[in-house]
Amino acid sequence: MSQADSLSRSEHMTDQGSRERRGSWLSHMREDVAAMRRRDPSATSDANVVLFSTGLHAIWAYRRQHWLWEHGAKGLAQFLSRRSRRRYGIEIHPAATIGRRFSIDHGMGIVIGGTAIIGDDCMLYQGVTLGMTGHHGGKRHPTLGNNVMVGANATILGDIHLGDNVKVGAGAVVVKDVPANVTVAGVPATIVKEHRCWEAARLTLVKPEDLDNENVRWSCAL
C-alpha cells in the first residue's frame, strides 16, 4: 500500500470515528431530554426541557467534563467543573461515573463525589449528597444501581452499594448497603417498604412452594 493510500485510509477512519462519536453524543442527549420530559410533570415540551432545565444543563456540562477527564485533560475538566458549580449550584466531580438517562429535578445543592458510580435511569432531587466518610484514598463514595430514586436532602455516605430499583426517602441518611427493590427512609435509613411481590417467584422473596400460603401473600403485599 502506498503512503498516499495509507494516509487516505487513516483520514477515512478518523472521519468515521468522529461521526460515530457525534452520533453517540446526540443519542445520549436525546435520551436525557426524553428522561427529563417523562419524569418532570411541569415540562410541556422537549424545547421547554432543553431551554429551562437546570438539572439537564448540569448533566450535559458534567458529560463534557467527564470526557475531558477520561482523555487526560484533568486540570481543564476540574476548572470547568468549578464554573458549572457556580453557575448551576450543582457539584458533580468530573471523575464520577454516571450512566444513561440520568435526571436531576430542581437540583440546587446536589454534590456527587469523584468515585461515585450511578447506574442507568437514576434520578436525584435537590440537596442530595453522594459523599464520603472519613476514609481517604480508593473507592470512597457510593455506588447506585439502575433505576434508583433519591429524595430531596437525602445523604448517602461512604463506599456502599444501593441495589437496583431502590427508593431513598427525603432527608434519609444512608450509611450501609441497601438491597434491590426496597424503599429506605430515616436517620439512619432503614427499609420501610419492599417492592417485590409474591406473584414474581423469580424475585425470590418467598419460595415457590409457599405461594399458596395466604399469610405469606398478605405479608408480601404490605
> Would residue 141 show up in a list of annotated catalytic residues for this protein?
no
Supply 81's cell numbers.
467543573
83 within 8 A of 64, measured Cβ to Cβ = no
User: DSSP secondary structure string, 29-88?
Assistant: HHHHHHHHHHH-TT--SHHHHHHH-HHHHHHHHHHHHHHHHHTT-HHHHHHHHHHHHHHH
104 within 8 A of 35, measured Cβ to Cβ = no
CA torsion angle for 28, 140, 160, 167 (degrees, to 10)?
-40
CA separation, residue 73 to residues 70, 77, 94, 116 (Å): 7, 6, 11, 20
Catalytic hit among 71, 93, 106, 135: 135
DSSP helix/strand/coil, 40: coil
The amino acid at 147:
N
Active-site residue list: 135
